[in-house]
Amino acid sequence: MKIGFIGLGIMGKPMVKNLLKAGHEVLAYDIIADNVENVVVAGAKGAISIAEVAKACKLIITMLPNGPQVKEVVMDEGGVLDVADTGTIVVDMSSIAPGVAQEIYAACAKKGVEMIDAPVSGGEPKAVDGTLSIMVGGKESVFEQVKDVLLNMGASAVYCGDIGAGNTAKLANQIIVALNIAAVSEAFMLSTKAGVAPDKVFDAIKGGLAGSTVMNAKMPMILDGNFNPGFKIDLHIKDLANALNTGHEVGSPLPFTALIMEVMQMLRADGHGQCDHSAIAKYYEKLTSVEVRK
């Protein structure tokens, strides 16, 4: 299948490479030429504009930083809807506010273009492995048409409901991940301050009820002092902002989300915005002047 792919950042590049491994032809575009060259070397074809992608492909995947960028790519002059044929399918795999996904869907529908929102969880490691968790909203019939393609990039692709439901699921995911990292950071600072080696505590509890995918992924990074980004604090701040705004819109209180948001804002102010979100541990290290390490 010929697939258009727009947005070749930390996540987009490995996702394109997994589509290529699955035998798809990919026409890729990004505003950064080096990102395009990276996937061209892997076998993709490079496009010089969004319009070139939209003219050539009946299935277009977008993987962009936030809602405004998706709206620009899809809805602005020279964007997808300017040139896409009726029946084209847009799969937005960005993490954006559910209300924005609904707005883009409505614009697509006026042009006879189908759209689903299909954000992902797993960060760069799972994007590379092709084991992302994909959450989908939109018409179930459209989801079924593209499900096999999604599973070339993910270990699971779950239909969650109408348009915006995928991003609602992603916001729930991001709340849980952020608060889980905070709990891990707080707990292992306690063990460190109490004189009990955090790596030993990790080994002791990871198989019990406190064990989690988040702890298993992030605790080794914290112990090594490795905060190279798989998922940046700046991006998690964006997701939590969308969660808080959505919570306000639907009347769902999110007090702990607001608290961890302020922790992340402090970390950004301290220059850690481009660090992995496991650097939430650095908040506790700043409070205590003690590092949680092996």
Catalytic center residues: 170
What DSSP string describes 57-114?
-SEEEE--SSHHHHHHHHHSTTSHHHHPPTT-EEEE-S---HHHHHHHHHHHHHTT-E
Which residues on adjacent β-strands are paired with residue 57?
Answer: none
CA separation for the pair 117, 33 (Å, rounded): 26
Q: What is the CA radius of gyration of the chain?
A: 20
CA separation for the pair 228, 212 (Å, rounded): 21
Q: Is 115 helix (H, G, I), strand (E, B) or coil?
A: strand
Query: Measured at the alpha carbon of residue 149, what is the angle toward residues 146 and 155, in degrees to the nearest 5?
Result: 115
Whether residue 115 contacts residue 106, with contact meaning beta carbons closer than 8 Å, is answered with no
CA separation for the pair 70, 63 (Å, rounded): 8
Q: Quote the DSSP letter at residue 160.
A: E
Q: Quote the DSSP letter at residue 51.
A: H
Helix axes 213-224, 198-205, angle to 10 degrees: 170
- 265-269: long-range contacts at Cβ-Cβ below 8 A with a sequence spacing of 24 or more? 265/237, 267/233, 268/233, 268/234, 268/237
